[in-house]
Structure 1
Amino acid sequence: MQTTKLSFKDVTKFYHDGETTVEVLRNVNLEVGQGEFVAIVGPSGSGKSTFLSIAGALLTPSSGQVFVDAKEVTNLSKKKLTETRLKEIGFIFQGANLVPYLTVLDQLLVIPVLNGERKVGKKRALGLLEELGLMHRKNQYPDRLSGGERQRVAIARALMNDPEVILADEPTASLDSERGRKVVEMIAREVKRENKAAVMVTHDERVLDLCDRVVRIEDGRLAEAH
């Protein structure tokens, strides 16, 4: 039986703009299971970024429940939300978001330091760099890397805390079609091999065939794409 790793139950998010209430997400329900890679597509302003922020415990919903690895995170304190992000969730950002003054290896070693697990970090970091074909670049700084290499470093960094859920925000946006596809193939491979759950927000229809499911979001509502 497949284990659910990320679950949204009747999640709504709204903001008050003066006397107007703006609903960004409306009664969203979604379950992502172990070993499943889900793409979320939709026009700008449809609620994709808000969905990803709530899934990543960066925002709390106005109503509804969110579960990460079967634990409800909806009403956690700021400290507990931070712990959840550090231990359970791996983020892959658009444009990689690497720290310019850290080498490739040090980009990864920051994560276990934040988790208070400094000793276990280096072996895992080197293993991930080996897997992703980056060992020969481990002492380089981001400005010496290609766009594809920077995104591979971002994937390795996202996997450093051995997260249950991987969230990718437009990971192909700054890449050409060939490099973009390779990056998404790597995410898909890691999801299957390590039994993770992953959600990718994307505009890139050329990589949707690599996902198990495609979900469309429009006006804050989710619907399975056919």
Structure 2
Amino acid sequence: MSIKLELENISKVYKDGDSSIKVLDEVSLQVKSGELVALVGPSGSGKSTFLSIAGALLSPSSGRLFIDNIEISKLPPSKLTEFRLSKIGFIFQMSNLLPYLTVKDQLLLISELTGGQTTVANQKADELLERLGLTNRKMNYPENLSGGEKQRVAIARAFMNDPEVIFADEPTASLDAERGRTVVEMLANEVKKRNKAAIMVTHDKRMLDLCNRVIFIENGRLTEK
């Protein structure tokens, strides 16, 4: 399996007047294709900062980040947005669907942003929606979907640009245990089938058996158990 995501001695320090706060302390991690890695830790442990840096939304104070063997810090700002659109998929705690777009149009918008061909995009959107059991909901608007359905749409949307890495931030927080497990099972299956890499931040220990590895973060340091 190839390495899709690599963090090498990443630190993040915030200045607070004359003092400084180290949120991440030289963390290193590799995630290979086909892997779903859970990231767990208490509030204030650095999970959000870690995810923001790994997802190329925030620059580290030191260290290097590689996605698909490309070092992010060497990309000019003008290329970074394009890189995120083409290489990274995000799934958030709340599905963050656009209320004025149908289910299928949520996916087609991603293709438009990345300059995809209409015919190919239509076929891809239909395939993803079928795999996630949403074919009969593709013309519905978000207000007519259940919480579980919204998160499944969010998963489909995250895979629409065929990214190399997926980041999921508490994707089951708004769901009951059964629907939450279904969503994570679908995420794990898509990651494995498509040889992608994924990191999922979660507080729900009932989902950990669905992940290939579990990484703990506390006081800005990573440990694997």
Question: Structure 1 segments of 4 or more deviating over 3 A?
Answer: none
- Any conservation in 2 of the 1:12–1:27 contact (CA below 8 Å)? yes
How many residue pairs were aligned?
224
Q: How far 1:84 moved relative to its partner?
A: 1.5
Q: Does 1:199 align with 2:199?
A: yes
Structure 2 length normalisation: TM-score?
0.98
- Any conservation in 2 of the 1:35–1:194 contact (CA below 8 Å)? yes
Q: Report the secondary structure of 2:57's partner residue.
A: coil
Aligned counterparts of 1:174 and 1:95: Cα–Cα separation in 2: 7
Q: Report the secondary structure of 1:74's partner residue.
A: helix
Aligned counterparts of 2:49 and 2:117: Cα–Cα separation in 1: 32
Q: Does 1:160 align with 2:129?
A: no
Gaps of 5+ in 1: none
Aligned counterparts of 2:207 and 2:178: Cα–Cα separation in 1: 10
Q: Report the secondary structure of 2:98's partner residue.
A: coil
Gaps of 5+ in 2: none
Q: Does 1:23 align with 2:7?
A: no
- The code of the aligned residue for 1:114 comes to L
For 2:48, the equivalent position in structure 1 comes to 49
Q: Report the secondary structure of 2:174's partner residue.
A: coil
Structure 1 residues 46-71: Cα deviation after superposition (integer angstroms, max 9, x where no partner): 11011111111101111000000111
Structure 1 residues 23-52: Cα deviation after superposition (integer angstroms, max 9, x where no partner): 111100000001111000000111101111
Q: How far 1:118 moved relative to its partner?
A: 4.0
Q: How far 1:17 moved relative to its partner?
A: 1.3
Q: Does 1:98 align with 2:93?
A: no
- The code of the aligned residue for 1:176 comes to D
Q: Where do residues 79-94 of structure 1 align in structure 2 (5 Å cutoff)?
A: 79-94=78-93
For 2:180, the equivalent position in structure 1 comes to 180
Structure 1 length normalisation: TM-score?
0.97
How large is the Cα RMSD of the aligned pairs?
0.8
Q: How far 1:221 moved relative to its partner?
A: 0.5
